[in-house]
């Protein structure tokens, strides 16, 4: 094998390895919500941003320790606080659509929910978050 052929083969191998590394980096990113990973107050959205769900799906938020909040609206409907299930032990607030509530079934299509949340040490400093998901059926 000549010196020139060795250089060409090594270059092609290095290029191949580089392509594999770039492909791994592109697909290695997790599907986490950047808004949540940089947000100190919210751990999880229910359902997650962009999820496809059925019309009776719970909608809510799991907050970080020392944070609380409430659902403001789902779609164009305001959700009364007495229809939200606040779970202090789980640090969450959830609304379940059912008969006799502000929303009996989530409407089909793209829908957005909004919450207000705050750190319990500074309850006057409130933040809002809106996320959207798709209701099928």
Q: What's the pLDDT at 95?
A: 98
Q: How far apart are CA 56 and CA 100, in angstroms?
A: 13
pLDDT above 90: percentage of residues in the chain: 69
Which residue numbers in the chain have pLDDT < 70?
Answer: 10, 12-36
Give the per-residue pLDDT at 13.
62
Q: What is the pLDDT of residue 39?
A: 87
pLDDT of 17 reads: 62
Produce one character per residue of 93-104: b if its CB has 16 or more CB atoms within 10 Å, e if not.
bbbebeeeeebe
């Amino acid at each position: 094998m000549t010196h020139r052929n060795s250089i060409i083969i090594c270059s092609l191998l290095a290029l191949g390895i580089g392509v594999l590394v770039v492909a791994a980096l592109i697909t290695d990113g997790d599907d986490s919500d950047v808004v949540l990973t940089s947000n100190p107050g919210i751990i999880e959205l229910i359902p997650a941003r962009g999820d496809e769900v059925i019309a009776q799906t719970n909608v809510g938020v799991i907050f970080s320790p020392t944070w609380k909040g409430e659902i403001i609206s789902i779609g164009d409907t305001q959700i009364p606080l007495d229809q939200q299930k606040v779970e202090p032990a789980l640090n969450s607030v959830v609304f379940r659509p059912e008969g006799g509530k502000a929303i009996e079934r989530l409407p089909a299509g793209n829908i957005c929910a909004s919450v207000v949340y705050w750190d319990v040490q500074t309850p006057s400093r409130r933040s809002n978050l809106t996320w959207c998901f798709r209701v099928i059926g």
